[in-house]
């Protein structure tokens, strides 16, 4: 079971809101709206995506990673995965 199960409803709510924002941006482009207005909306989507990723990452650390470290099972694998994910987010 994924570690984010406790936050699943919050995550889904945020993702649905993002879906609506993306559809709104698509309409803006179809209607030839001002570039800066479109970029501002895209910035909001980026921030929302980062928030969802942060929630899932925290849950993963508090769940899967903590459990692996406690049990000393595949802990190196979980740490390597976590480092890789953090590097990808830090590079952006």
Q: In the numeric block, which tokens belong to residue 19?
A: 């879906």
Q: Quote the pLDDT of residue 33.
A: 98
Count of domains forming the chain:
1
1 DSSP 8-state letter: -
Phi, psi dihedrals of residue 53, rounded to the nearest 5°: -60, -40
**Domain hosting residue 55, numbered range:** 3-90
Per-residue pLDDT reduced to its tens digit, 8-43: 999 999 999 999 999 999 999 999 999 999 999 999
- CATH number for position 45: 1.20.58.1000
Give residues with Cβ within 8 angstroms of 17, minimum separation 6. Answer: 48
Q: Model pTM? A: 0.86
Phi, psi dihedrals of residue 49, rounded to the nearest 5°: -65, -45
92, pLDDT greater than 70: no
Spatial distance between the Cα atoms of 92 and 87, rounded to a whole number of angstroms:
9
Per-residue pLDDT reduced to its tens digit, 58-91: 999 999 888 888 988 888 888 899 999 999 988 7
Q: What is the mean pLDDT of residues 54-58?
A: 95
């Amino acid at each position: 079971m994924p570690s984010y199960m406790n936050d699943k409803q919050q995550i889904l709510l945020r993702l649905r809101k993002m879906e609506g924002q993306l559809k709104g941006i698509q309409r803006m482009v179809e209607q030839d709206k001002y570039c800066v207005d479109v970029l501002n909306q895209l910035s909001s989507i980026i921030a929302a995506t980062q928030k969802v990723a942060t929630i899932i990452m925290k849950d993963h650390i508090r769940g899967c990673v903590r459990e692996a470290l406690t049990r000393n099972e595949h802990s190196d694998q979980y740490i390597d995965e976590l480092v890789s994910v953090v590097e990808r987010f830090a590079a952006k």
